[in-house]
Structures are given as C-alpha cells and as structure tokens.
Chain A
C-alpha cells in the first residue's frame, strides 16, 4: 500500500511539473513608475520575525537597493497609533546615509490616513514660506523581497542631524506626544506626560518645566518673560499654517520643541502633517483652540502680528494659483504608483477625487479665513 502510494504520488508530481513547464518566461522587470525605487531585501525568517513585532522597536538587518546601489540598513516599525494600520510606516537606519535625503536615518511613510497622498507634501510646502524649520519629503516606490509594497514618502526625521544640516545649534529637543502637549500646568501636571526628551538623552526637564511655568503664569509682564525664552513669532506662524491647513493633529502633539543653542529660545518645529485639509474637531477653528494662542490673543501686539502673518501667508503661498499647480504636479508624479498600490486600490481611493477635495478645502478655507480676518482686530 505504502509503495503504491509513493508511486502514484510521484506520477502526480510528474504530471503537475510537465503541465507547468509549458512556457517559462523571464521574470518581468519592475514597472517604471517614474519615481525612485527603494527595494528592500530581508531574509525570510527575519521578515517573519519583523511582521510579528509591529508594536516593538525590533530592528532587522537588510539590504536596500536604490538605483542599483546596495545599502546596508536596519529597519523597524515607526509611529504610535498608525502601527495598527495595515500599510506600515518604517524607520530606516543606514550605515552611511540616504542618497536622496542625505541623512543617516529616514522615515518611509505610508501616509495611510491620507487617501490623496498629497497632504503632507502640500502642508510642508506652505511651511517653507514661514521662518520655521521643516522636514524634506519625497515620493518613492517601495518593495520588500521583490513585492510591491506601494507608494511611500521618504520623510526626513527631526533629530540632531536635521538641525546639523541646517546649521542650527541644538541645546535641547523635545517631541510633543501622547495628546498631552499643553502649555499650561492646569492641563499638564507633569511635562513628561506631554513631552518626550529627544536630546540630550537624559531625564533633566528643568528647562522645559521653566518654559511651561512661564506660559502658565499670569504675571504683569507676561510677553516680556515669555519672549526671553520662547520664539513667539515662530509659534504664531506655526499656528497660522495650522489654522489654514486645519492641522488639528498638530495641536496637542505631533510637533517638536527645539531649544535653539544660538538664541536660547524655544521654538516650534512642525511634524506629522498627514491629517491636514480635513475638517475635524474645533481645535483649529479661528483663531485657534490652544491655551497659549488664546492667551497671546489677549495682547494687541500679538493679535496684530498674528493677523499680519495670516495676510503674508495668504498672499505668498496659501493661494489657489500657488498650491494647485503643486498639487497637480505631485499628482502627475505619483499617479502611476498610486494606481498600482494594492492598499489604495482595495480601499477604492481615487487620486483625482481626493486631490479635488483638497483643492475645494483650500478654496473654502481662504474664504473662511478672509471673513474671520475682516472682523479680527
């Protein structure tokens, strides 16, 4: 019985093999999407392990092939709430540096909550017209072990190297996180609940605690005290773009606080801009649902500055004739990769419809802000 079983099994395998070899062709070359190709090769066992560590920061070794050149890298999952998304974000650490962003660590962002895939890019373009430091962002196509993972965006992380590239001296760097990055001790009992120290890596929060105690205080010369330690102008500019783009996710977290080594002042650095151009909640209703911005609005000089920044950005960058061509050119750059992205396709997203929604939002937002400014003294 056993012998017959083996015999018939072998016959079966032979028939399957003969039937399968009817036509063998070369492996098709990866499709040309007109975007840089980031092709990651990881050992299968490591890949299995990696997939089982979505919520940990396990780093896996791999080889990244970019334009035919091999780079030794380490990869790990990135993000907080986004880790549950099916399309993942990654942090890639190079032995040397990324050939496009020229930094040793980059983020490969799936932008999984932005069906248009243009929001982060467009918002970062608006920030470029302010005095704030803003990360670089580039679209790429990403493969793992030869399988197309979809359209991704390379994002430059905000870290020591980010400021080194911009010749900025860093005294301290904090990341606003956990939805608790308030500027008042009434709301924030301990700064550690809302701010994560990125640099230097120590537990000394005294300088930040001092800043929050000043922003929380109601002293007579509040502006005078505040301006000594905080770059109010940059904060107002941050809020102008936040209001214009409806960046509600950047109010109580998702920004950095840099203590600039040259000025000795804290300043805001924007981060994570993919939840923009969508009306959600009331935090970004004009003039802004933030403790500090509301406090600053009690002072005429800040109101005037705020209004002037709105006027400047509305004149310089938040305009249909400036932003729409940027949206269209990015759309035409990513459209092929977008429509081959399985995750995007399965969700039934359409780039034309989604970018039109962003454009409509911008049009409506300009009208809304213009109306608000008319009555804002």
Chain B
C-alpha cells in the first residue's frame, strides 16, 4: 500500500514533467513545420579499430567501434541530432543520443533530448575529440553515481563574448531529477578559460540519497603546451547510503584533481603531420575523511596524426589503488595499455 501511495504522489510529478516536455515538443513542432523540407543534413562520426591489454588479463582484446551522427538542420534556428553507435562486442546499432537544439536568440540556445550533463571538460567534449582513448578514471568513477553521461532533459545555454552560462534539468528512469548549472569565462587572469559547474540530484522512490557535486577548473596554453586542470568535490550517494545505514556519518564526500597536458608538434613529413605526446594525471579520494585511501592515475600517451581526421593513439594507463584496510600497499588493478587507429569524418 505504501508503495502505491508513493507511486501516486510521484505520478503528479511525472505528469508535470510530462506536460513540460509536451509543451516544449509543441514549440519544437511549431519550429520544425518544414521538417520534410530539410535545408541541410550533415554527417559526423568515427571508425576506430584497436587492441587493449588490461592488467591481469592474459589476452590482448581487439575491437572496433563506429559512430554515425546525423544532424538535420530544419531551419536556420533548429537542428536535430541523432547519434547511433555500435562495436564489435555488441554488433548491434544502438541509439545513443537524440536531441534538438533551437536558437531562441543569437545568444540563447535551448536543447532538449537525451543530453550529456556536461559536468567537467570530458563531458562537454565528444569522446572522439579527447586526446586520450578512454575517459579518465575519475570520469569513470562518476558513471554509477549518476553525475555524468546522458539523461533526458532540457538545457538552456547563453553565450556572450567571453562568457558562457548554461543550466538544465534532467530526469531519468531511476526517478531522479538533476539540476545542473555551468559557467565559464574566457581569458581570465592569464588563463584561456576558467569554468565551474554544480549539479544536484534529487532522488525519489528509492533508498539512494540526494547528492550534489561541484566541478571547477581552468584551461591554458603556454608555449604550445595545452593544459587543463580540474577539481571535483561532492557526495558519493552509494557510500553515503552504506555509511548512514551503518549508523555512521550521513554523507561521504569525494574529492578529485585531474590534469591533462599535451603539445602538438607539427612535422614536415608526407605521412605524419602532427605528433602529440600527452600526460593525464589524476587523484581520486573516495572519502575525504580518509585522504590516504585513494586512486592515482598516470596516463602517458602519444597521438600520431596522419591528417586532421586520422590518428594513431597509444595510451599506457597506470592506476594505483590502495584500500582502507591496507593503505601501504597499492594494486595496479584497472591499469591498461591501448593502441587505436581513429578515423573521424
């Protein structure tokens, strides 16, 4: 009976959310009346092939992946994006993302659909455009916590010269709402860009507690060295749940710091156009009350560009983790080496 009451109360919220979506859909339809007379269709995507060796694995695993992204420019204000992907493991095409963006004014854009939460540099950059093959250990840690990746929602983006502000609301099928806001300023205090983001996840119908997280960082370029530095701080809802039901503290806070440094060397070769060494280093503390229990990532990589869209990527990813019950010893679990050829279009 209790569950039924809960479901009913949620139904009201769901309906409200549904009506907002329907309203926006109506607005979208109004804008896309000439949907069958698309002015422009563009294609984007990649093909990747490579081999991966995980620490403790006997075999090198080969793979290939494909992304097909189609963008329909319905009119000068409205675009629709459909992202389909597949890989050698699944061998079935999956709808990865579908979204619509509407330019409300020259500076204001509305996005609706299955959108990335854009929490951190790695979330507002397409994976194929990152200098590394995989996302960082910190980003991967955020996946099951719900702070990153796609969720149905609405985002409003406002741009003016050096300023950028966006805010959004997302809702997922675990009955959780996310409110997210992000802001950045270019050319500040000698840095190319300074940014910050905040999100809060409000859960319903489950035992997972509410949680919030903050991200801030900067991007700069010194003598051709491109550097990104990011810090993260927030609640780990899973650890908070375990901690609170054990009668310990109600909230467990994580903290993380990550930097990526790379430099592109142009070569006067007919085959290789650019050579890009890179370093990604990060530290993740799952519970800031135990700062000596952490995970460290050091990734060394080389990107060899044959042209703007084709590159050979080699990553050696070292992950050192220790445990609460054995702080002095670290394992290499999760470390890996990957080589990959990527062709984008």
Say whether B143 contacts A48, CB under 8 Å: yes
Q: How far is the CB of B189 from chain A (nearest CB, A)?
A: 8
Is B229 part of the contact surface with A, judged by Cβ < 8 Å? yes
**Binary interface encoding of chain B residues 212-223 relative to chain A, with 1 for a CB under 8 A from any of its CBs, else 0:** 000000001010
Partner of B222, one of A6, A10, A27: A6
Listed A/B pairs (22) with beta-carbon separation below 8 Å: A2-B191, A6-B225, A6-B227, A13-B259, A20-B322, A21-B320, A22-B330, A25-B331, A27-B55, A28-B331, A49-B149, A51-B146, A52-B151, A52-B173, A53-B172, A53-B173, A54-B174, A61-B89, A81-B3, A146-B333, A179-B4, A346-B243
Partner of A27, one of B56, B146, B176, B189: B56
CB-CB nearest in chain B for A52 = B172
Which chain A residues numbered 8 to 27 have a C-beta less than 8 Å away from chain B? Answer: 9-10, 13, 16-17, 20-27
A66 to B225, CA, bound (A): 47
Chain B residues with Cβ below 8 Å from A22 are: 328, 330
A-binding segment of B16-24, B158-166, B200-208: B200-208
A55 to B10, CA, bound (A): 13
**Binary interface encoding of chain A residues 73-89 relative to chain B, with 1 for a CB under 8 A from any of its CBs, else 0:** 00000000101111000
Which chain B residues numbered 9 to 31 have a C-beta less than 8 Å away from chain A? Answer: none
CB-CB nearest in chain B for A178 = B4
Which chain B residues numbered 173 to 193 have a C-beta less than 8 Å away from chain A? Answer: 173-176, 189-191
Say whether B330 contacts A346, CB under 8 Å: no
Say whether A24 contacts B225, CB under 8 Å: no
A58 to B114, CA, bound (A): 15
Chain B residues with Cβ below 8 Å from A20 are: 296, 320, 322, 330
A16 to B294, CA, bound (A): 11
Say whether A52 contacts B328, CB under 8 Å: no
Partner of B173, one of A1, A56, A85, A348: A56
Say whether A17 contacts B242, CB under 8 Å: no
Say whether A55 contacts B146, CB under 8 Å: no
Which secondary structure dominates where chain B touches chain A? mixed
Is A221 part of the contact surface with B, judged by Cβ < 8 Å? no
Is A3 part of the contact surface with B, judged by Cβ < 8 Å? yes
CB-CB nearest in chain A for B7 = A81
A21 to B173, CA, bound (A): 42
Say whether B174 contacts A23, CB under 8 Å: no
Is B167 part of the contact surface with A, judged by Cβ < 8 Å? no
Say whether B174 contacts A9, CB under 8 Å: no
A74 to B189, CA, bound (A): 51
A24 with B320: in contact, given A45-B143, A53-B172 (CB under 8 Å)?
Answer: yes
Chain B residues with Cβ below 8 Å from A21 are: 320, 330
Known A49-B150, A55-B173, A84-B205; 16 more pairs at CB < 8 Å: A3-B222, A6-B220, A6-B227, A9-B229, A16-B283, A20-B296, A20-B320, A23-B328, A23-B330, A45-B149, A52-B151, A52-B176, A54-B174, A86-B207, A146-B333, A346-B243
Is B148 part of the contact surface with A, judged by Cβ < 8 Å? yes
A112 to B330, CA, bound (A): 33
Say whether B320 contacts A54, CB under 8 Å: no
Q: How far is the CB of B237 from chain A (nearest CB, A)?
A: 10
Task: Name B's A-contacting residues (CB within 8 A).
Answer: 3-4, 6, 55-56, 89-90, 135, 140, 142-144, 146, 148-151, 172-176, 189-191, 205-208, 220, 222, 225, 227, 229, 241-243, 245-247, 259, 261, 281, 283, 296, 298, 320, 322, 328-333
Is A133 part of the contact surface with B, judged by Cβ < 8 Å? no
Chain A residues with Cβ below 8 Å from B143 are: 44-45, 47-48, 51
Say whether A13 contacts B331, CB under 8 Å: no
Q: How far is the CB of A7 from chain B (nearest CB, A)?
A: 10
Partner of B332, one of A24, A51, A146: A24
Chain B residues with Cβ below 8 Å from A26 are: 56, 331
CB-CB nearest in chain B for A13 = B281
A48 with B148: in contact, given A9-B229, A24-B329, A84-B205 (CB under 8 Å)?
Answer: yes
Which chain A residues numbered 25 to 59 have a C-beta less than 8 Å away from chain B? Answer: 25-28, 44-45, 47-49, 51-56, 58
Partner of A17, one of B90, B206, B298: B298
**Binary interface encoding of chain A residues 124-163 relative to chain B, with 1 for a CB under 8 A from any of its CBs, else 0:** 0000000000000000000000100000000000000000
Chain B residues with Cβ below 8 Å from A51 are: 143-144, 146, 174
A20 to B322, CA, bound (A): 9
Which 5 A-B pairs have CB atoms at the shortest separation, nearest pair first?
A48-B143, A56-B173, A52-B172, A54-B174, A86-B207
Q: How far is the CB of B286 from chain A (nearest CB, A)?
A: 12
Is A312 part of the contact surface with B, judged by Cβ < 8 Å? no
Say whether B283 contacts A86, CB under 8 Å: no
A23 to B322, CA, bound (A): 10
Chain A residues with Cβ below 8 Å from B207 are: 84-86
A44 with B90: in contact, given A13-B259, A53-B173 (CB under 8 Å)?
Answer: no
Q: How far is the CB of A178 from chain B (nearest CB, A)?
A: 9
Most chain B CB neighbours (cut-off 10 Å) among A47, A49, A51: A51
Partner of B146, one of A17, A23, A48, A61: A48
Chain A residues with Cβ below 8 Å from B190 are: 1-2
Say whether B330 contacts A48, CB under 8 Å: no
Q: How far is the CB of A250 from chain B (nearest CB, A)?
A: 17
Is A377 part of the contact surface with B, judged by Cβ < 8 Å? no
Chain B residues with Cβ below 8 Å from A6 are: 220, 222, 225, 227, 261
A85 to B242, CA, bound (A): 13
Say whether A17 contacts B241, CB under 8 Å: no
Q: How far is the CB of A144 from chain B (nearest CB, A)?
A: 9
Say whether B330 contacts A86, CB under 8 Å: no
A27 with B174: in contact, given A13-B259, A20-B320 (CB under 8 Å)?
Answer: no
